[in-house]
Every structure is written in structure tokens, then in C-alpha cells.
Chains A and B, each alone.
Chain A
Amino acid sequence: DAKTTQPTSMDCAEGRAANLPCNHSTISGNEYVYWYRQIHSQGPQYIIHGLKNNETNEMASLIITEDRKSSTLILPHATLRDTAVYYCIVRGHNTDKLIFGTGTRLQVFP
């Protein structure tokens, strides 16, 4: 599985969009980009995933660059409850093993 690189921490004002970047320059053609988040003292929560095209669901949007070497998770209107550690993971579709890095700690402030 390809390795990912994320900033250690980010801040975002409540109500503004939070844009969390992830680099995955060694991604291969059949590997998906997954995003999870972990709120303190809870298990990780699935957010969104994608292969090539941009994706949107009720929680977030995922923008993947054309060369697929990086992606951005967008929380369109961050709330205080979005304060969490966000993990970007790359894995093959038929691989069940998830490798979590250290993620980005997002702090949403009032």
C-alpha cells in the first residue's frame, strides 16, 4: 500500500470550510483513497473514499488531483464537533488491511 503524508495539525474557524490535504505520490492505479476521522476516545469513523473522480457525500467532499498523487478532504462548513484527527489512507480495493498514519489533528475554533 502506498504511503501518505499529512500535516500534523490544522486550525479552522467554525462555519468555514476545512481543507485537509494528503500526499500519496506512490499511489498505484488500483488503489483507493480513504478518509477516516477519530474523535477523542472513540473508534475511527469512515468519511469518504474515491479512486479517480471527485466524490461528495453528506459529510464531506473528496478532491483527487488528475495525477492522483494528492487529494484534499473538504468539510464545507466546519463545526466544533468536527474537531478530530483525520486519517488519509491508500489501499487496494481487494486488500483489507488498513494502514493508518498519524493523521492531521483538526481543531475547529469558535
Chain B
Amino acid sequence: DVKVTQSSRYLVKRTGEKVFLECVQDMDHENMFWYRQDPGLGLRLIYFSYDVKMKEKGDIPEGYSVSREKKERFSLILESASTNQTSMYLCASRTPGTGYTFGSGTRLTVV
């Protein structure tokens, strides 16, 4: 089975910190995605990538950046964490012919 692994389940960071959320998939997929999930708002796409060193903005990219130096790894970066970035962050990898495989999520709290 495809595995999408997010490095942390829970994180607590201080306002202004630079935060790195790591995601690794093990099936050589080209496409990877970062979503955030908030109550009442569903999942919203932050950034996605179709290939190494390639990135595309999603619906809510402000305050975030991404890095894709290797095919299997897609990192989400909060340049200067703020309290409104407290959320569940979900990484996904595209599975050809079926759908997306999601990681278990990282619940980030910014204090």
C-alpha cells in the first residue's frame, strides 16, 4: 500500500517561529499536495507540486511556502507562524487510477 508519512502528529510552536512540516511518500508519485482542515471550512488546498523543484499555489498560499527537492518529499514551511495558522495539516500523494492517499495529519497549534 502507498504510504504517506507526516513526520509529526502534534506540534506546538510559538508565534513568529519558522515551522517545517515534512511529508514523505514511498511510491514514486509525481504529484503531492498540502491541505489544511478547519472546522466548518473543510479541506483547503495550500500548495501542490507535480515534480521535483516544481510548485503551484492552491487556494490559500499566503503565509506558506513549500519545498520539493526530492520526488518523495514535500515540505510545507510556515515562514513566520501566526495563531491563525493553528490547524490540522494534511499531505496527500496522487495515486494513479484511484485517488489520493493522505497522511495521518499534523495538528499544529501556534501559541
Q: Enumerate chain A interface residues (CB-CB to B < 8 A).
A: 34, 36, 41-46, 49, 96-103
Q: Which of B43, B98, B101, B104 is A42 in contact with, Cβ under 8 Å?
A: B104
Known: A36-B99, A49-B98, A97-B58. A42 touches B42 (CB 8 A): no
Instruction: Tally A-B pairs: CB < 8 A.
Output: 47
Q: Which of B33, B35, B42, B90 is A96 in contact with, Cβ under 8 Å?
A: B33
B85 interface residue per 8 A CB criterion: no
A interface, by DSSP: helix, strand, loop or mixed? loop
Which residues in A have their C-beta under 8 angstroms from that of B33? Answer: 96, 98
Separation of A100 and B102 alpha carbons in the complex (Å) = 13
Asked if B102 contacts A49 (CB within 8 A), the reply is no
Which residues in A have their C-beta under 8 angstroms from that of B95? Answer: 46
Minimum Cβ distance to chain B for residue A53 (Å) = 15
Separation of A43 and B25 alpha carbons in the complex (Å) = 14
Q: Which of A45, A46, A100 is B42 in contact with, Cβ under 8 Å?
A: A100
Minimum Cβ distance to chain B for residue A85 (Å) = 10
Asked if B48 contacts A97 (CB within 8 A), the reply is yes
Q: A43-B104, A96-B31, A100-B35 are in contact. List 6 more A-B contacts (CB 8 A).
A: A43-B102, A43-B103, A46-B99, A49-B99, A96-B94, A97-B45
